[in-house]
Chain A
């Protein structure tokens, strides 16, 4: 039996296809404009690699910001519950999930039965999320992938304000104009994000073990900064 999960995030969309609970295909693409067509396109592309069609799937579950706009999904489930479920399969010992996505950062507490016990998310403002990092990478003309490794080289990170992405961007631009080290600026950006996420996480009681998910998990400096904060 084939089943698929589709996660329409604010920046990236992800698809997984499972056969009898085994992962057999996955695909990540930028979400782009129109969710209804984008979601069908990405799923069909993933199915194509297996020589399957949409009608071969016994069930499709949609999650993520765009979950309500996936017309062919049987069920919509929030990312929060999905992370809880995912940990049953991936890391059953995990009790806290830190998800750093495009427009949301989340902390999710999972109990011993893999039930979502508690969760917390950033409010409307998207400073401290993946999008923030992307905007800063653009402002500094550094590729998103290089941001993490560069940050790790810094000895004295700059202090970056994080009340507003737009203000932080102009601060970064001024620091560059003043001739400050790009590496220190980048390190400061990572620290600022980590602080903001950590502040939010304190609202739920962080428990071992911890998993970091979302695009932010791919950033080594961000993960290390969070590790340092959490201790």
Chain B
């Protein structure tokens, strides 16, 4: 990973404030809503509800290497270890008698969108029952080929139903003008985030995917607020400064790599060091780009429906291949690494076939490895290292033959 960012200190303060704010807000009468990461949170912000992300809690626990411990408490309740690591960890925390990364904030209400997967709705449903809090599910139809206007209309209809649900549950009023303001801020933050991510295309780059994994918290949590806009302005400035001073993400960048998709949080450093040791920088992932979208302010609800239903996890095989290939082209990648994540079935589905198709179409080497994004018990270092090193050796071979 890169030398420490100045912005990193700011991020730590912001996150600490965010976690503290939940309980404070509740006391002030601001309801706490559990939300999912790829969800029209802009509506939540526009209605002055406090959004809380249990997935972030999972990522935090995973990065601190305690997700497996918390998961065990969930497993003791019968949640099998094949389920999503974030869900097991979040459920486990509810039942745990130890809280090494703080306690997950109980919800007043839960809202969820299944555009990411089918595990989140089940987790939220169970949490809703446990906390006796009302739950609303936004159903995003799968898009196998073309986007259908019917699917979009179905989602827009549900957005209005959700607004109704939120008004009834919280007593707060929805205002379309306020939503447009929030969308404006969200668009500004996502634009800045995208600009930061694009810096990884420079060679050598001042910033890579593993850095982005660290700096993505505000775009997930605060998109739609001034906080996110200010944060990414500061980050972009720092990145420009780094470019001017010649500060690079890794000492000797020779290869640019596309990575799919979530990082192995408890081994983030292990991976970033292994890549850096082989002069390889991971420059892009569809994961960090999940929040690099644009809104059309002239039609807010339709635009929200488009952005959140047309996310990659909700798309067909061919679309996902094309998306990866587009990133590889845009960031001038020499190869690609696909992480078959036990926790994330929808994204791991067909990964071996995707690898084959992408390798054939691009002529670039690619490798699949298996692990879990949060649970260290599914990590086998020797196996993964051999795969990745053989991949690095392929890059070297190609480079010697002047193919890259």
A124 touches B370 (CB 8 A): yes
Residues of B within 8 A of A79 (CB): 386
Residues of B within 8 A of A119 (CB): 390
A203 touches B352 (CB 8 A): yes
Task: Choose from A78, A113, A203 the contact partner of B386 (Cβ within 8 Å).
Answer: A78
In the complex, A104→B356 CA distance in Å? 21
Residues of B within 8 A of A118 (CB): 359, 365
Q: Is B387 an interface residue (CB 8 A)?
A: yes
Q: Is A137 an interface residue (CB 8 A)?
A: no
A115 touches B383 (CB 8 A): no
A115 touches B386 (CB 8 A): no
Q: Is A230 an interface residue (CB 8 A)?
A: no
B382 touches A78 (CB 8 A): no
B390 touches A80 (CB 8 A): yes
- B120-135 CB mask vs A (1 if < 8 Å, else 0) is 0000000000000000
Interface size on A, as a range, is: 10 to 19
CB contacts under 8 Å to A, within B328-373, are 340, 352, 356, 359, 365, 370
B390 touches A115 (CB 8 A): no
Interface size on B, as a range, is: 10 to 19
Q: Is B389 an interface residue (CB 8 A)?
A: yes
A104 touches B390 (CB 8 A): no
- A66-90 CB mask vs B (1 if < 8 Å, else 0) is 0010000000111111000000000
In the complex, A81→B378 CA distance in Å? 26
Q: Is A57 an interface residue (CB 8 A)?
A: no
For residue B267, give the distance in angstroms from its CB to the closest CB of chain A.
Answer: 15
Q: Is B397 an interface residue (CB 8 A)?
A: yes
In the complex, A123→B365 CA distance in Å? 19
B397 touches A124 (CB 8 A): no
B356 touches A115 (CB 8 A): no
Q: A116-B397, A203-B356 are in contact. Are A124 and B380 (CB under 8 A)?
A: yes
For residue A33, give the distance in angstroms from its CB to the closest CB of chain B.
Answer: 16
Residues of A within 8 A of B7 (CB): none
B386 touches A65 (CB 8 A): yes
A81 touches B386 (CB 8 A): no
Q: Is B2 an interface residue (CB 8 A)?
A: no
B390 touches A78 (CB 8 A): yes
Q: Is B393 an interface residue (CB 8 A)?
A: yes
A115 touches B370 (CB 8 A): no
Residues of B within 8 A of A123 (CB): 340, 370, 383
For residue A6, give the distance in angstroms from its CB to the closest CB of chain B.
Answer: 16
CB contacts under 8 Å to B, within A177-220, are 203
Task: Choose from A65, A113, A116 the contact partner of B390 (Cβ within 8 Å).
Answer: A116
Residues of A within 8 A of B370 (CB): 123-124
B386 touches A121 (CB 8 A): yes
CB contacts under 8 Å to B, within A79-112, are 79-81, 104
Q: Is B401 an interface residue (CB 8 A)?
A: yes
In the complex, A68→B352 CA distance in Å? 28
For residue B365, give the distance in angstroms from its CB to the closest CB of chain A.
Answer: 8
CB contacts under 8 Å to B, within A35-91, are 65, 68, 76-81
B380 touches A77 (CB 8 A): no
- B138-168 CB mask vs A (1 if < 8 Å, else 0) is 0000000000000000000000000000000
In the complex, A76→B389 CA distance in Å? 10
B383 touches A104 (CB 8 A): yes
In the complex, A78→B383 CA distance in Å? 11
B356 touches A80 (CB 8 A): no
Q: Is B81 an interface residue (CB 8 A)?
A: no
Q: Most B CB atoms within 10 A — which of A68, A77, A115?
A: A115
In the complex, A157→B394 CA distance in Å? 41
Residues of A within 8 A of B387 (CB): 121
Give B353's nearest chain A residue, CB to CB: A203
For residue B147, give the distance in angstroms from its CB to the closest CB of chain A.
Answer: 31
In the complex, A205→B267 CA distance in Å? 32
A77 touches B352 (CB 8 A): no
A81 touches B393 (CB 8 A): yes
In the complex, A143→B394 CA distance in Å? 39
For residue B20, give the distance in angstroms from its CB to the closest CB of chain A.
Answer: 40
Residues of B within 8 A of A124 (CB): 370, 378, 380, 383
A115 touches B352 (CB 8 A): no
Q: A121-B386, A123-B370 are in contact. Are A115 and B380 (CB under 8 A)?
A: no
CB contacts under 8 Å to B, within A119-137, are 119, 121, 123-124
A77 touches B356 (CB 8 A): no
CB contacts under 8 Å to A, within B202-251, are none
Q: A123-B370, A124-B370, A203-B356 are in contact. Are A116 and B393 (CB under 8 A)?
A: yes
Q: Which 4 A-B pairs have the closest CB atoms?
A: A80-B390, A78-B390, A81-B393, A123-B370
**A binding-site residues for B, Cβ under 8 Å:** 65, 68, 76-81, 104, 113, 115-116, 118-119, 121, 123-124, 203
Q: A78-B386, A116-B394 are in contact. List 20 more A-B contacts (CB 8 A).
A: A76-B389, A78-B393, A80-B386, A80-B390, A81-B390, A81-B394, A81-B397, A104-B383, A104-B386, A115-B394, A115-B397, A115-B401, A116-B390, A116-B397, A119-B390, A121-B383, A123-B340, A123-B383, A124-B380, A124-B383
**B binding-site residues for A, Cβ under 8 Å:** 340, 352, 356, 359, 365, 370, 378, 380, 382-383, 385-387, 389-390, 393-394, 397, 401
A-B CB contact pairs (8 Å), 16 listed: A65-B386, A68-B385, A78-B393, A79-B386, A80-B390, A81-B397, A104-B383, A104-B386, A115-B401, A116-B390, A116-B393, A118-B359, A121-B387, A124-B370, A124-B380, A203-B352
